[in-house]
């Protein structure tokens, strides 16, 4: 089955990530595409197509090969099993299934072969874990990872379309850093997710990872400052060579969210020795969190499955 022939369902196509999924599937040659959404959005037109209601009956009808889910965690938990029951493969960008045993958590450039082990559901990682692991993979293959410390600076689009509208309406002197995730008294759940997902994607279950996440008044583009301790010495020069050859990575002297917006690559730069340790590096990365950090990752995973003729659950 080729990309133009595959029957695709986009669930949640009017949200912040969904608005990126729709043009991407068209750009990449997908022709047989249907849109599904809640009852509130059903019946409206998007890109000349009538939006269908995402009911259990519609999703389990068996007339869609791949569903790209861009909805919230609770909606995914409710709807994805029905789509799988209908024989579709579901690529879900919510947190619903990411850490569930037996569900592959896939970044194609890092662990794409894991997608072939699916039983109907493939999870799309967190929008910070995708660029982070894309950059870490070649460094780990070369020198081994011993420890990670991460500080993220995440745009408001990561909190959804309504958060973007609030920022647009907000006076500039009201802009501030925020930490708007669930808090357990010690850690925000975003920090815990970044640690757990990084370990699962890299298949390093005991890797020490410490993260601090904040929301910044930027519409699109997440940034991270990363301190890496390696098992073997790794010079900044060698790291640059490795990253220059890495898939979906582009070297940039000074990566920023603005420079990453609209791009398919993860930008990485400021690669230098970590002066606080003997075998460490520090670097900056930036990524369009809606594009490569969500929509494109799922579509690339779908393309990988199609290329291996492995759509059957």
Q: Identify the CATH number of the domain in which residue 166 sits.
A: 3.30.360.10
Q: Is residue 1 part of a domain?
A: no
**145 & 284 share domain:** yes
**pLDDT of amino acid 312:** 46
Q: Could you tell me if 121 and 238 lie in one domain?
A: no
Q: Which tokens in the block code for residue 148?
A: 């990670």
- Pairing of the two strands 49-50 and 52-53: unpaired
221 in a domain, yes or no? yes
Of the candidates 83, 120, 108, 82, the residue with the CA atom closest to the CA atom of residue 9: 83
18 and 70 in contact (C-beta within 8 Å)? yes
Alpha-carbon distances of 313 from 86, 106, 305, rounded to whole Å: 10, 16, 11
Q: Write down the pLDDT at residue 4.
A: 66
Q: How far apart are CA 191 and CA 172, in angstroms?
A: 27
Q: If you average pLDDT over residues 61-68, what whole number do you get? A: 96
pLDDT value, residue 309: 66
The whole-chain average pLDDT of the chain stands at 94
pLDDT, one tens digit per residue, over 106-157 is 999 999 999 999 999 999 999 999 999 999 999 999 999 999 999 999 999 9
Query: 294 pLDDT exceeds 80?
Result: yes
Indicate which CATH number applies to the domain containing 34. 3.40.50.720
Q: Which helix (H) or strand (E) holds 304?
A: helix 296-307
The answer to whether the beta carbons of residues 263 and 288 sit under 8 Å apart is yes
Over residues 204-216, mean pLDDT = 98
Asked whether residue 288 carries a pLDDT value surpassing 90, the answer given is yes
Q: How far is CA 120 from CA 9, 91, 114, 123, 311, in A?
A: 14, 9, 13, 10, 9
Are 84 and 157 members of one domain? Answer: no
Same domain, 112 and 150: no
Domain ranges, residue 192: 129-288
User: Are 89 and 133 found together in one domain?
Assistant: no
Whether residue 1 has pLDDT greater than 80: no
Q: Backbone dihedral region of 10: left (phi > 0), alpha (psi from -120 to 50 degrees) or beta?
A: beta
Calpha distance 201→114 (Å, rounded): 9
Is the predicted pLDDT of residue 266 greater than 80, yes or no? Answer: yes
Residue 55 within a domain: yes
Q: Is 3 within the bounds of a domain?
A: no
Q: Is the pLDDT of residue 297 over 70?
A: yes
Residue 139 corresponds to which tokens in the numbers above? 């460094």
Q: Are residues 141 and 273 in the same domain?
A: yes
Residues 133 and 265 in one domain: yes
CA distance 142 to 144: 6
Q: Is residue 213 part of a domain?
A: yes
Active site residues: 127, 222
How many domains does one find in the chain? 2
Residues 167 and 147 in one domain: yes
- 24 and 69 fall within a common domain: yes
Tell me the C-alpha to C-alpha distance, in Å, between residue 72 and each of 37, 58, 253. Answer: 12, 19, 36
122 and 16 part of one domain: yes
* Same domain assignment for residues 204 and 110: no
Mean pLDDT of 5-17: 87
Residue 203 lies in a domain: yes
- Do residues 193 and 280 both lie within one domain? yes
Task: Give the whole-angstrom CA distance, residue 266 versus residue 251.
Answer: 8
């Amino acid at each position: 089955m080729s990309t133009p022939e595959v029957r695709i369902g986009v669930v949640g196509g009017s949200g912040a990530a969904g608005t990126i999924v729709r043009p991407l599937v068209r750009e990449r040659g997908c022709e047989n595409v249907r849109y599904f959404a809640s009852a509130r959005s059903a019946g409206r037109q998007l890109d000349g197509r009538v939006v269908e209601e995402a009911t259990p009956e519609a999703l389990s009808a068996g007339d869609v090969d791949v569903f790209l889910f861009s909805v919230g965690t609770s909606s995914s938990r409710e709807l994805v099993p029905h789509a799988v029951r209908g024989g579709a493969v579901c690529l879900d960008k919510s947190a619903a299934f990411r850490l569930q045993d037996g569900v592959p958590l896939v970044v194609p450039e890092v662990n794409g072969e894991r997608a072939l082990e699916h039983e109907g559901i493939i999870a799309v990682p967190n929008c910070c874990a995708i660029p982070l692991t894309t950059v870490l993979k070649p460094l780990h293959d070369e020198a081994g990872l011993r420890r990670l410390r991460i500080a993220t600076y995440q745009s408001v689009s990561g909190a959804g379309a309504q958060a973007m509208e609030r920022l647009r309406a907000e006076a500039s002197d009201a802009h501030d850093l925020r930490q708007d995730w669930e808090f357990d008294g010690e850690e925000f759940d975003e920090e815990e997710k970044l640690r757990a997902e990084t370990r699962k994607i890299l298949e390093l279950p005991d890797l020490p990872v410490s993260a601090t996440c904040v929301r910044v008044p930027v519409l699109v583009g997440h940034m991270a400052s990363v301190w890496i301790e390696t098992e073997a010495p790794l010079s900044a020069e060698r790291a640059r060579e490795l990253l220059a050859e890495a898939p979906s990575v582009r070297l940039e002297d000074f990566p920023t969210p603005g420079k990453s917006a609209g791009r398919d690559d993860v930008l990485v730069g400021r690669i230098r020795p970590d002066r606080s340790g003997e075998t460490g590096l520090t670097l900056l990365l930036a990524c369009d969190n809606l594009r490569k950090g969500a929509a494109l990752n799922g579509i690339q995973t779908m393309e990988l499955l199609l290329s291996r003729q492995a759509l059957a659950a």
